[in-house]
Structure 1
């Protein structure tokens, strides 16, 4: 590499003829109107890509697990993880992913408990999505934010502002309305099954959703605690998460799920078999798409914009359930979706204000702050 300072010196050291004209500018290379560079730095496209990836992931999961006789959730999640790992390794081989560290046994042992928590999170999420509609699942998923927030208060010294508490109130209120609307729809016969079966299905869904909330919070809080010690980057986290869950998921599938030919035929009916397989493969790819689009959105916009997009994205995900899966459209369900949407916006705004307040406090003061006598004594003791 040449030294920039020495280059500048040689250009002005008097050896060049001062009467020589400036060299003609190099010809401009013709570039296509929409180059890859423009796409890669487009805020609008990154936001659309992130929204489409998350919506398609939820819809695909719901499609795969919503079969009448579906009972192979561990197998489905294992396929997701395998597809994800194969895709990551292929991207590393062709140079798309360059910052993935080699596999380390010691790191794998330390990360394995986090992967077990991940299995609990994705399994309970799949079971909840199997019994609940997409709008209700999306609304109840907001409750995870509350558990994580108070977990951070207890374990990491976080804080909850009044505006954040307001958003939590909206989240709880929207969940209550969603549950009430679902129960009313079941009692009114809007579901295909009879009333008692529909109520039993909803109760199972709420039970799995409750377990998913706590499993998700445990996974997120545990990962936050361990990830700082491991010094993992995004691709490292995804690689270890998926790789270490594969043996757990396969063992759980072999031990707890029915692998008889009759059960396989019920889970994969001939008329929808190919579509289910395509959905299972796509769900593994979608996990990578979401991770990439999240990083892309943050890079070309800001973390603030990303937070707001995540809040606004709740609405199209919930609406997609109404469109693709014929979920009951009632005043209660629409109200729950809207209130949950407002709760997400209020929460995102609360986090933005909290981050701005923290940044303002971290700025160096321009005046010497007033110090109490005890603090002054402690300072003098340290100096001495």
Structure 2
């Protein structure tokens, strides 16, 4: 069982790294900045693969899913906002910077639990939230590649992530499984992003994309779709097998691995002060993992 968990954890980390690197390559190197089309493609592939997996009996999805769609719809709207804003932000920000800002979503969750749910919060978790907030707050002032639009979309992204996780935690355990939630997300995202592609101008602007008929673009887009699905699947599997603390530790390891290797693969100019901010954010997340493992 321990070997199986380790294999799934390593698979998750591999998919996490490969997914971020592939998306960053398409968004920043190839400059395919048409988020409704790119995210629409990814969610279409994910939804199709999940539907096939269901029909083949590899995953379980309740056939009476329709009765719970309306209750999950607000979360699906947030999911679309999360992936759309995340795509816009990642196209403009270095991966370590994006992940540091992304982690501020945990501060939103911690604040909600403390202020509205009146849950007891450990000193370690409070320190973690403060470190994450300080790291993200100082980063714009020390980022030599500061991009206002990138930070704006990163803020929208982290707000959507925080709200999405709060809604997810508030769902009754018997309502929808993680796979069923993602199935609804995929279907809703494909429809909404397809409808939005024309008003946003992406539908016709993409015809001017210089690499539209290049094999490396096609291969990267296919890889991003499949990797997104495998990342989701391995995440759900890992979450179901591990305790919250162990699950958080694997996510932390995947983020550190991805942030570190991305600096070797993409042009990222990080000043000493910016590196200090990133390390402070890493310390904040490490404290969060510690508090999860202790059950605080």
Q: TM-score, normalised by structure 1?
A: 0.70
Correspondent of 1:303 among 219, 225, 244:
244
Correspondent of 1:167 among 119, 128, 131:
128
Tell whether the 8 Å contact from 1:50 to 1:294 is kept in structure 2 after alignment.
yes
Q: Which residue of 1 aligns with 2:109?
A: 148
Q: Which residue of 2 aligns with 1:25?
A: none
Q: TM-score, normalised by structure 2?
A: 0.89
1:346 deviates by 0.7
- In 2, Cα distance between the equivalents of 1:45 and 1:69? 34
**1:348 is the counterpart of 2:289:** yes
1:1-384 matches, within 5 Å, as: 41-67=3-29, 70-97=32-59, 99-102=60-63, 104-182=65-143, 185-186=144-145, 199=146, 202-225=147-170, 227-228=171-172, 231-260=175-204, 263-269=205-211, 273-298=214-239, 301-355=242-296
Q: Which runs of 5+ in 1 are unaligned?
A: 1-37, 187-198, 356-384
Asked which structure has the greater CA Rg, the reply is: 1
Ranked by relative contact order (alpha carbons within 8 Å, sequence separation 6 or more), the top structure is 2
RMSD: 2.4
Q: Structure 1's 300 and 116: CA in aligned 2 closer, same or farther, altered over 3 A?
A: closer
Q: Which runs of 5+ in 2 are unaligned?
A: none
| Count of residues in Structure 1 that have an aligned counterpart in Structure 2 | 296
1:73 deviates by 0.3
- In 1, Cα distance between the equivalents of 2:33 and 2:239? 37
- In 2, Cα distance between the equivalents of 1:321 and 1:298? 25
What secondary structure, in the 3-state scheme, does the structure 2 residue paired with 1:131 have? coil
